[in-house]
Amino acid sequence: MNPNLEKSLDQRLKQELPPPLSQAIPALGRMGEKLGLRVFLVGGFVRDLLLHRQILDIDIAVEGREGAARLALGFSRQEKILVQGYPHFGTATLHLPGNYRIDLATTRKETYPAPAALPRVRPGNIHEDLYRRDFTINSLALCLHPSEFGKMLDPFGGCLDLKRRRLRVLHPRSFSDDPTRIFRALRFEQRLGFRLAPDNLLLIRKALAANAISRLSGTRLLAEIKFSLSLPETAPLLARMGRLRILAGIDPSLKFGPETARVTRSLQKSLQWFGTAAGAGNFPGFEPWVANLIALTANLPEKKLEHFVARLAPSAKVRKKIAWDRTRGKMAREMLEANPRMKKSLIFSQLHQFPPEAILFLEAQTQKEPARKALRFFLHGQAFTKPETDGQDLKRLGIPPGPLYREILARLRDLKMNGETRTKKQELEWVRKQYGPHLRNHH
Ligand code: CTP
């Protein structure tokens, strides 16, 4: 790890970023000098630059009274670009040509009035701003002032931790001040391939013993769970959360045994498949994290599940999905396992009552390949086929419009799904045969 970027930052920016961004960053440093403000690249940006990872967000810290607003305003005037200011938070966003954005924040210090409460924020200098952050690897800053361009500020040993691939908080109270950092730590472990320092595991254990997670609001806890269940690495993440008793810290009835481990691993692959499956577009509201949550809570007794969901207070839509009928789901799975060559229309009628996230869970859960195939047939969207015939055609046949249309069209859909009809001609023949006598009676 070479933290000395004083000579090479400009070049690195040009390598890593599109021109509007690589030009704007040094220009912000020059504008800062003009306005008497110190300007720094901070947070995930510096971390990812040093790790040669793709840079996602550009975060800039500005030292000086109302620094972010003044710098943003000066820059937007000079460059004639759009700026959005949030004076209450001391932040501003620059919108650059090409749909790029840069977030600016005035440096600040934070104190926690109570464990797990939201912090109290006051103006502070760059050191205080770095000290309020979660991990040493996120507490690095790169100076943009023209006379010190590329100089690294590393007050807590973040560069060494990056080199050793180690996660470390800045002070012993960090996890209890902000228990969301427990979740963040485990996500960084998975995403970056890092490891928590052993004494930090101890700090997490202490925070859990003091019930840190139960002090988080439902909204904040739900947000962390959602992020954690949305990673491609969710299965190993959950396994680690189980081992470190973090799941138990969320809810004592959440268990992570070998069966949940198997299903979440299998679900990880299923989610990957589903993301690229042709039929995924048929399930527009599909949420991968909900599928993981269904797997994680699959063995919770009804009452405990209700209690857990009430604590998280998710949207009505998510709540409904999590409360899917697990007994009927199990019956459907067992039926498919026993009789996988069941007619497609029957599979459809069994499964369409469940949220797609639950069907994907069943698919990951079953160990019988033919049953898995049947579930994938449904998830592939082929089940959402429409017959060739429509209401106009039925009218032309002389069938009086009414509730019968729905029945006929549903039966035609089933025939097509089962491969029993292929063309419109065959469908119309079937209708005549089936409903012909009915028609004659009618006339
Ligand atoms: N942060 C923190 N405590 C939190 C959340 C965030 O100290 N509970 C700090 C971190 O130091 C982080 C910065 O706020 O660097 C921005 O947070 P975020 O955008 O969530 O994370 P990044 O580090 O930018 O990582 P990424 O966007 O790659 O997830």
The full set of domain ranges for the chain reads 9-164, 255-383, 391-442
Q: What pLDDT does 276 receive?
A: 86
Compute the distance from residue 266 Cα to the ligand 1 centre, in Å.
Answer: 30
Q: Determine the atom of ligand 1 nearest the C-alpha atom of 139.
A: 11
DSSP strands (E only) in 21-140:
38-42, 59-63, 82-86, 91-96, 100-106, 108-111, 120-123
Question: Contact at 8 Å (CB) between 323 and 309?
Answer: yes
**Class of the domain covering 255-383:** mainly alpha
Residues with CB under 6 A from ligand 1: 43-44, 56-57, 133-134, 138, 178, 180-181, 184
| Residue among 57, 118, 135, 227 whose CB has most ligand 1 atoms within 8 A, to mutate | 57
Q: Identify whether the C-beta of residue 120 lies closer than 8 Å to the C-beta of residue 113.
A: yes
pLDDT at 2: 53
Distances (CA, A) of 143 to 5, 24, 146, 149, 293: 10, 14, 9, 5, 42
Residue whose Cα lies nearest atom 28 of ligand 1: it is 44
Q: In angstroms, rounded to a whole number, what is the distance separating the alpha carbons of residues 329 and 350?
A: 9
What one-character DSSP code corresponds to residue 423?
Answer: S
Q: How far is the CA of 192 from the centre of ligand 1 (A)?
A: 14
Ligand 1 pocket test, candidate residues 134, 137, 213, most atoms within 8 A of CB: 134
Distance 44 CA to ligand 1 centre (A): 7
335 Cα: distance to centroid of ligand 1 (angstroms): 47
User: Minimal CA–CA distance to 168: which of 141, 188, 151, 152?
Assistant: 188
Q: How far is the CA of 309 from the centre of ligand 1 (A)?
A: 27
* Token duo for residue 390: 């429509």
Tens of pLDDT along the chain (443 residues) come to 556 688 799 999 999 999 999 999 999 999 999 999 999 999 999 999 999 999 989 999 999 999 999 999 999 999 999 999 988 889 999 999 999 999 999 999 999 999 889 999 999 999 999 999 999 999 999 999 999 999 999 999 999 999 999 999 999 999 999 999 999 999 999 999 999 999 999 999 999 999 999 999 999 999 999 999 999 999 999 999 999 999 999 999 999 999 999 999 999 999 999 988 877 788 888 999 999 999 999 999 999 999 999 999 999 999 999 999 999 999 999 999 998 788 888 888 889 899 999 999 999 999 999 999 999 988 987 667 789 999 999 999 888 889 999 999 999 999 998 889 999 999 999 999 988 766 644 44
Atom of ligand 1 nearest to the CA of 178: 8
CATH code given to domain 9-164: 3.30.460.10
With beta carbons less than 8 A apart as the criterion, state whether 184 and 220 touch: no
Q: Atom 3 (ligand 1): residue with closest C-alpha?
A: 134
Ligand 1 centre distance from Cα of residue 5 (Å):
22
How far is 22 from 135, CA to CA, in rounded Å? 26
Atom 5 in ligand 1: which residue has the minimum CA distance?
A: 134
Encoded amino acid at 206, one letter: K
Distance in Å, CA 29 to ligand 1 centroid: 22
Q: Report which ligand 1 atom has the smallest distance to the Cα of 45.
A: 24
pLDDT at 384 (0 to 100): 74
- Atom 21 of ligand 1, residue of closest alpha carbon: 44
The pLDDT assigned to 1 comes to 57
In this structure, is the dihedral angle defined by the CA atoms of residues 190, 193, 194 and 195, taken in order, positive or negative? Answer: positive
